[in-house]
Amino acid sequence: MPRQSIDHMIVIMVMTMATMLAACHPQPVIVKRSQLLMGTVVSVTSVAPDRERAHRAAAAGLEEIRRLEKLWSTWIPTSEVSQVNAAAGRQAIPVSPETLDLIDRSIHIAALTEGAFNIAVGPAVRAWNISDQGRLPSREELAKIRPLVDLAALRIDRQARRVFLTRAGMALDIGGIGKGYAADLAADVMQRHGALAGVVALSGDIKTFGRMPDGHRFVFGIQHPRREHGVILGRLELENEAVSTAGDYQRYFMQNGIRYHHILDPRTLEPARLARSVTIVAREGIMADGLDTGIFVLGPEKGMALIEALPEVEGVIVDTQGRVWVSSGLRTRLQLDPQVPVVEATK
Ligand code: ADP
Ligand code: MG
């Protein structure tokens, strides 16, 4: 055989082997999809061995969030939460295991935060109507609502999976925790559909699993609470963790120079006044989301003490003066903008 054809054969063989190797070890594919769900932009990033699986996992993640929205949204009259609210003072309503879990975990976070996190705030959220026009409720109106914002009047029959708001006018509002739990459940579904790694982001409530195909961790920016959207305070890498931010800058209205925002102190039923934003990093989105809202109400002193006391929970709090409090486990992980004033560690 002439030398040239042998060379040619070798080239073809090498090329064929390369193709075979590529087929055995294909590069993972990244697919990103976004949709409007739960009143916000939901983005899922799916990393899978091939394009089809990456797409399937992303679609399944979004579908899971749509399913949960139908169970929990107070804008959907047939949702389980709407049914529980409509039956307040009258009767118990059967709910799905997911809804029961969400309520149980909310009660747990209420206990951790000394009642600062309270999903019975529904009537107060309605009175302020901040997610729509926003209005200032009168003192008398808030006084009437106060006895309704009481988790002691929420009765749960775990065996029968029934939930009963025992006082007429009570209402659950899962806006402070539902998106974090939805991110957890969507991430589970994506993994069951073959995703090796991924991100589920319901605006500021984010859950990650695994790493990028190049081995890098997923990177996130913490929004600066007083600068335009996209200006960040600091940057953080996450691996198999969730991050969630509660702030006074997303939904609010201004009146006479006062900012009225959507995180209410269950004791006063007024917007909480001790922080500008709270970011929590935890294993689970449900914990990160529930705690960000509760710790926003507690404020930096009590809030940071709670973060330090909880295992596998870290956080960043921006106080009312714009100073940044960073938990001990994040001090080496968080890359803060050098301009940002940091509160010196107390421990
Ligand atoms: P988002 O992710 O939409 O910014 P947050 O996690 O910051 O939500 O929670 C704010 C929402 O939680 C409010 O819009 C309201 O529905 C609900 N909420 C307000 N105050 C409280 C509270 N003290 N405890 C529990 N939920 C609350
Ligand atoms: Mg929250």
Domains of the chain: residue spans and CATH? 26-63+179-210 (no CATH), 75-165 (1.10.3980.10)
Q: Closest ligand 1 atom, CA of 266?
A: 23
pLDDT (tens digit per residue) in 180-228:
999 999 999 999 999 999 999 999 999 999 999 999 999 999 999 999 9
Local confidence band at 5 (pLDDT 50, 70, 90 cut-offs): low
Q: How far is the CA of 175 from the centre of ligand 1 (A)?
A: 5
Is the Cβ–Cβ distance between 272 and 263 less than 8 Å? yes
Which pLDDT score, from 0 to 100, does residue 23 have? 56
| Residue 96's pLDDT band (cuts 50, 70, 90) | very high
Pocket test for ligand 1, best of 260, 293, 295, 298 (most atoms within 8 A of CB): 293
∠ at Cα 292 (290, 120), nearest 5°? 45
Mean pLDDT of 226-237: 94
Least confidently predicted of 6-10, 71-75, 236-240: 6-10
Give φ, ψ of 91 to 5 degrees: -155, 165
pLDDT tier, 27 (very low <50, low <70, confident <90, very high otherwise): confident
Nearest ligand (C-alpha, residue 113): 1
Q: How far apart are CA 43 and CA 299, in angstroms?
A: 30
pLDDT grade, residue 24 (50/70/90)? low
Average pLDDT, the chain: 93
Annotate 29-89 with DSSP letters as a single string: EEEEEEEEETTEEEEEEEEESSHHHHHHHHHHHHHHHHHHHHHH-TTSTTSHHHHHHHTTT
Model confidence at 296, pLDDT cuts 50, 70, 90, reads very high
Q: Give the number of residues written for the chain.
A: 347
Q: Say how many Å lie between the CA of residue 247 and the centre of ligand 2.
A: 9
Q: Is the pLDDT of residue 161 over 70?
A: yes
- Name the closest-CA residue to atom 27, ligand 1: 176
Is the pLDDT assigned to residue 163 strictly greater than 50? yes
The whole-number average pLDDT for the span 83-91 is: 98
For 259-287, letters b (16+ CB in 10 Å) and e give ebbbbbbbeebebbebbbbbbbbbebbbb
pLDDT, position 250: 87
The pLDDT of 92-99, averaged and rounded, is 98
Q: Give the confidence band of 9 by pLDDT, cuts at 50, 70, 90.
A: low
Cα dihedral sign for 189, 190, 193, 195?
Answer: negative
Report which of residues 134 and 170 the model is more confident about.
Answer: 170
Q: Is the pLDDT score of 154 beyond 90?
A: yes
Q: What percentage of the chain reaches a pLDDT higher than 90?
A: 88
Closest-CA residue, ligand 1 atom 8, reads 176
| pLDDT tens string 307-339 | 999 999 999 999 999 999 999 999 999 999 888
